[in-house]
Structure 1
Amino acid sequence: MGLGQKLEDARNRKGISIREATESTKIRSDYLSSFEAGDFNINLPEVYLRGFVRLYAHYLGLDHDAIVADLEVELGMSSQNQRKSLGSITSNEMSDTKDSSPSTKKNSLRSANRALIPKVVLAVAAVIILLVPVLFLVISNDSDSEVMFAEENNDLTVAEKTPEISEVSAQGILLNNELKLATIGPIERLIICDEGETPKKYHEFSNLPIGWEKAIEFKNSFRCYSSSLENLRFAVDDGPEKKAEGTGAGNFSWTK
């Protein structure tokens, strides 16, 4: 039996509608319908996909670890099918290339050579244009060296202060925010998405006990998913501890 059929049968046994499941789990109804149809190629990061399937399986009273294992198999089969289709396209392209005549190849080489000549000329011109300012700077530095030695003390003072200013500016630019998390009750699933990173960075935690604490660095903004919002507390940098809005499963975000 496929994974989607298992989920649908479990929901039907409980006499629960898709709408009721959505209200209880806070998972969108179109996602739940796709899960039960066995379609897991939806626009979601895999970490969120696994989390939602695990939460839905737990809600239906199924072994969520076994369900997640079935999901891994489904995802693996999907990626294999994609690789096969890519392989067939590549083989067709290779056969088309073999069928091309020698005269066509010669014409292509001539066209490529003619197209390459303007590029070479432009590259040489660009190198010459770049070298002119460099030579000018070298000559200017030589002529200014006498003035620099004559005003050595003043120049040293400025040179010493400039790195300090640049270092402070660099530290300000590179400084990350800190997210402090704490639980006042058990949380089955917690996912933090650092939306300031490129690509986005995810932190995933499972089966968190009461009193669990964690500090995570992030850039400018984050999004949080928790299976029990009422049991989560958070603080940003040196700010006060806050309570996550809502109860049960849900999301919230913070932006600098």
Structure 2
Amino acid sequence: MGLGQKLEDARNRKGISIREATESTKIRSDYLSSFEAGDFNINLPEVYLRGFVRLYAHYLGLDHDAIVADLEVELGMSSQNQRKSLGSITSNEMSDTKDSSPSTKKNSLRSANRALIPKVVLAVAAVIILLVPVLFLVISNDSDSEVMFAEENNDLTVTEKTPEISEVIAQGILVNNELKLATIGPIERLIICDEGEIPKKYHEFSNLPIGWEKAIEFKNSFRCYSSSLENLRFAVDDGPEKKAEGTGAGNFSWTK
């Protein structure tokens, strides 16, 4: 029996709908539907994918360690199928090439060369057309620059001017922040994502007891997922200890 079928059968035995499972686990309904369909090729980091599958299995009363092991097998089979598909395409192309006669190859090369010349000319012309406005902007640009970026659903515009030496020093000192974590109750799963790092850096913890404490360095912003938000306390740098809002599984973020 496939992993998706195991999850679906366990949910049906409990008489739970996808919507009810979503409300209890805080996992999106489309993710749960994909899990039960055996489709794990979704746009999620693997650390989050494993965490969500483990949490869903625990909610359904299944052996979550065994379910995660089945997930590893599913992910491995998906990678092998992709490699086999690429290999078969390559071998078919090679056999077609071998079956071609020498005269056909020569004619194909001549036709390809004739067809390639206009494309090369057009590509060179396009590059020249694109470079002219870019060079104009570089030459006419002054010392001020505007940086636009989007962080998930929030658009933020930052106008950056030539900084003074004191500002550069201050910015260098404030790059790293410290996140202090503590538990007042057991937490099965805790994931911290350092969103200031490129690429993003993840810290994953499992089966945390009461009284567990940890200090983690991060840059400017982080996102936290906890299977029991009510049992988590956190503080940033020398700030006061705060309570994570909500109960049960969920996530929150902090930005400088």
The TM-score range, normalised by the shorter chain, is 0.7 to 0.9
CA distance in 2, matches of 1:192, 1:63: 24
CA distance in 2, matches of 1:159, 1:133: 23
Contact 2:143–2:162 (CA under 8 A) maintained in structure 1: no
Larger mean Cα displacement after TM superposition, 57-66 or 153-162: 153-162
Larger mean Cα displacement after TM superposition, 55-64 or 87-96: 87-96
With over 3 angstroms needed to count, the CA separation of the structure-2 counterparts of 1:103 and 1:214, relative to structure 1, is farther
Provide structure 1 residue ranges, at least 5 long, that are not aligned to the other structure.
none
CA distance in 1, matches of 2:212, 2:21: 29
Q: CA RMSD in A?
A: 10.6
Question: Which residue of the partner structure matches residue 239 of structure 2?
Answer: 239
TM-score, normalised to structure 2, is 0.73
Deviations 1:206-255 (A, max 9, x none): 00001111111111111110000000111111111111110000011111
CA distance in 2, matches of 1:241, 1:92: 63
Larger mean Cα displacement after TM superposition, 153-162 or 183-192: 153-162
Deviation at 1:165, TM superposition (A): 6.3
Report the secondary structure of 2:66's partner residue.
helix
CA distance in 2, matches of 1:176, 1:127: 41
CA distance in 2, matches of 1:112, 1:119: 11
Deviation at 1:199, TM superposition (A): 1.5
Larger mean Cα displacement after TM superposition, 47-56 or 88-97: 88-97
CA distance in 1, matches of 2:61, 2:203: 26
Deviation at 1:64, TM superposition (A): 0.5
Report the secondary structure of 1:188's partner residue.
strand
Larger mean Cα displacement after TM superposition, 26-35 or 156-165: 156-165
Deviation at 1:86, TM superposition (A): 1.5
CA distance in 2, matches of 1:153, 1:230: 26
CA distance in 1, matches of 2:122, 2:65: 61
- Aligned identity (percent) is 98
With over 3 angstroms needed to count, the CA separation of the structure-2 counterparts of 1:77 and 1:175, relative to structure 1, is same
Q: Indicate the structure with greater strand content.
A: 2
Contact 2:226–2:249 (CA under 8 A) maintained in structure 1: yes
CA distance in 1, matches of 2:120, 2:172: 43
Larger mean Cα displacement after TM superposition, 183-192 or 91-100: 91-100
Equivalent residues, number: 256
Q: Indicate whether 1:182 and 2:202 are aligned.
A: no
With over 3 angstroms needed to count, the CA separation of the structure-2 counterparts of 1:123 and 1:92, relative to structure 1, is closer
TM-score, normalised to structure 1, is 0.73
Q: Indicate the structure with greater helix content.
A: 1
CA distance in 2, matches of 1:193, 1:4: 27
With over 3 angstroms needed to count, the CA separation of the structure-2 counterparts of 1:20 and 1:137, relative to structure 1, is closer
Q: Indicate whether 1:110 and 2:110 are aligned.
A: yes
Provide structure 2 residue ranges, at least 5 long, that are not aligned to the other structure.
none
CA distance in 2, matches of 1:47, 1:240: 30
Larger mean Cα displacement after TM superposition, 155-164 or 245-254: 155-164
Deviation at 1:176, TM superposition (A): 1.3
Deviation at 1:151, TM superposition (A): 52
